Amino acid sequence: MKNLLLVRNIKSGLKSLQLHFMRSFLTTLGVVFGVGSVIAMLAVGEGASIQAMDQIKALGSNNIIITSVKPVSDSEKGQQRSSFMSIYGITDEDRERIMTSIPDVVRTVPIRTMQQTASLAEKTQELRVVGTTADWFGIIKRPVLCGRVFNEDDTSGDHAVCILTEYGARKMLANSKIIGQNIKVANFPYKVIGIVKNSASGGDSSIQAPDKKTDIYIPIDTMINRGGKTIVQSTAGSRSIEQIDLHQLIVEINSIDNVEKSAAAIKAIFSKYHKKQDYEISVPLSLLQQAEATKRTFNIVLGSIAGISLIVGGIGIMNIMLASVTERTKEIGIRRAIGAKKRQITTQFLIETVVLSGLGGIIGVVVGIFIPYLITTFSSMPTDVTPGSVILSFGISITIGIVFGIYPAVRAANLDPITALHHD
């Protein structure tokens, strides 16, 4: 019997909404835009967060990255003199100390970078050259497009081999046929053994192993043997000379649990042997934890802002239902006079508000999924619509329909039957 009454109330509520279709549709727009904006904004925030965390994860949660930083004092001296020798940064001795004094270190990867002129056939291009070891490709994963990466034989001794990034290969107008050919870097020939795909991150941050603008990799021993450790940079009216062993050092730790204490030990070593602040230590694991905390805060802020639209939509539903109560006062009076209970009147009006908010929620979900698709398609900005955001926003729309529908429903149920029957 109760089920039959519920079905009858649902049919009655739907019929009432059909009689005022345009008004009902316009009422649901607030919920549609609210649900759609919640899903879309959370999708954009989720996409940005995932991209940021993927960049950090690509560096390895087990890794510690040390970067050489030119001290401010040296920069100021360089401005005062036309020629000045600046010696700073990570040294080979630092690398040895880390490997011998910290038991949790698995391996270290040295990195040197410099700008050099490269030539292939008739094409000449200024490229960024990175000197490193075979271990770099073991720690920082890069898909191999053709050929291969360094092995231990390539990076021991003075082997003149190189690997191009996809970006560097395009700049040199090279393709897969270049494998086995020679490319000249600073007038020294290097045999191309592979082309690797660029990182998706592609930034210039000091916490990132060089990649996006890294156009060519060569063995670090070969780089030092042929070019030394002194870098000369000439500008209009001045010249700076820098001597630096390593621009960056990646330290791989045997377990995530040992990363933070190993980072503290590395900081202690550098504090003892470096009188100047000519280094920067970054821990991707800590950055990942910070990014996850930021992601949660970001999603809460975005969800709260978009949730305001849902509240506005709920207020619109309440206003329309109050107007509906006024319009249908006589109908309510007749129903009460022939025996309808307050509970039945309340149920009917609540059903109408839930139907309005539910339909608005369904349309809003479709809109909320479609908007991120358009954003990704036309701007290449990553987005990610999660099931949780869809369920949350739709659930909130139903809840708002109930909350904002209670007052009109109770007001309708509490109308005096006699007064309602005399209402024009």
Backbone angles phi, psi at 199, to 5 degrees: -65, 150
pLDDT for 67 equals: 92
Specify the amino acid at residue 109: V
The DSSP output letter for 199 is: P
Specify the amino acid at residue 227: G
Question: What are the structure tokens assigned to 141, written together?
Answer: 């994963």
CA distance 266 to 67: 12
pLDDT for 206 equals: 43
% of the chain residues with pLDDT over 70? 81
CA distance 130 to 137: 12
CA distance 131 to 98: 20
pTM: 0.62
Query: Which residue would you say has higher pLDDT here, 329 or 158?
Result: 158
Other residues' Cβ atoms within 10 Å of the Cβ of residue 396: 23
User: Do 4 and 334 touch, CB atoms closer than 8 A?
Assistant: no
Question: What are the structure tokens assigned to 270, written together?
Answer: 């550098």
Sequence-distant (≥ 6) Cβ neighbours of residue 197 within 8 angstroms: 142, 143, 144, 145, 165, 166
* pLDDT band for position 407 (cuts 50, 70, 90): confident
Q: Which of 11-25, 97-111, 380-394 has the lowest mean pLDDT?
A: 11-25
pLDDT for 83 equals: 52
- E runs forming strands in 88-122: 105-120
Query: Which residue would you say has higher pLDDT here, 239 or 132?
Result: 132
pLDDT for 268 equals: 93
pLDDT for 204 equals: 42
Mean pLDDT score of the chain: 80
Among residues 420, 221, 191, which one has the least CA distance to residue 325?
420
Backbone angles phi, psi at 339, to 5 degrees: 115, 0
Specify the amino acid at residue 57: K
User: Do 8 and 2 touch, CB atoms closer than 8 A?
Assistant: no
Structure confidence by residue, pLDDT tens digits, 177-214: 889 999 999 889 999 999 998 765 544 444 445 555 67
Query: Which residue would you say has higher pLDDT here, 205 or 307?
Result: 307
Query: Which residue would you say has higher pLDDT here, 125 or 291?
Result: 125
pLDDT for 202 equals: 45
Question: What are the structure tokens assigned to 23, written together?
Answer: 């008004």
Is 266's pLDDT higher than 90?
yes
CA distance 309 to 361: 12
CA distance 49 to 47: 5
Spans of all domains in the chain: 2-55+290-421, 70-277
Question: What is the full DSSP assignment across 19-39?
Answer: HTHHHHHHHHHHHHHHHHHHH
Structure confidence by residue, pLDDT tens digits, 47-77: 877 777 676 666 677 889 999 998 876 555 5
Determine the angle formed by the axes of helices 21-58 and 284-327, rounding to 10 degrees. Answer: 180
The DSSP output letter for 177 is: G
Is 110's pLDDT higher than 90?
yes
User: Do 347 and 12 touch, CB atoms closer than 8 A?
Assistant: no
- Burial label for 215, CB within 10 Å (0-12, 13-18, 19+), is buried
Structure confidence by residue, pLDDT tens digits, 354-406: 888 888 888 889 998 998 888 888 887 888 888 888 888 888 888 888 888 78
User: Do 378 and 356 touch, CB atoms closer than 8 A?
Assistant: no
pLDDT for 412 equals: 76
Q: Report the greatest alpha carbon distance in the chain.
A: 104
Is 163's pLDDT higher than 90?
yes
Specify the amino acid at residue 330: K
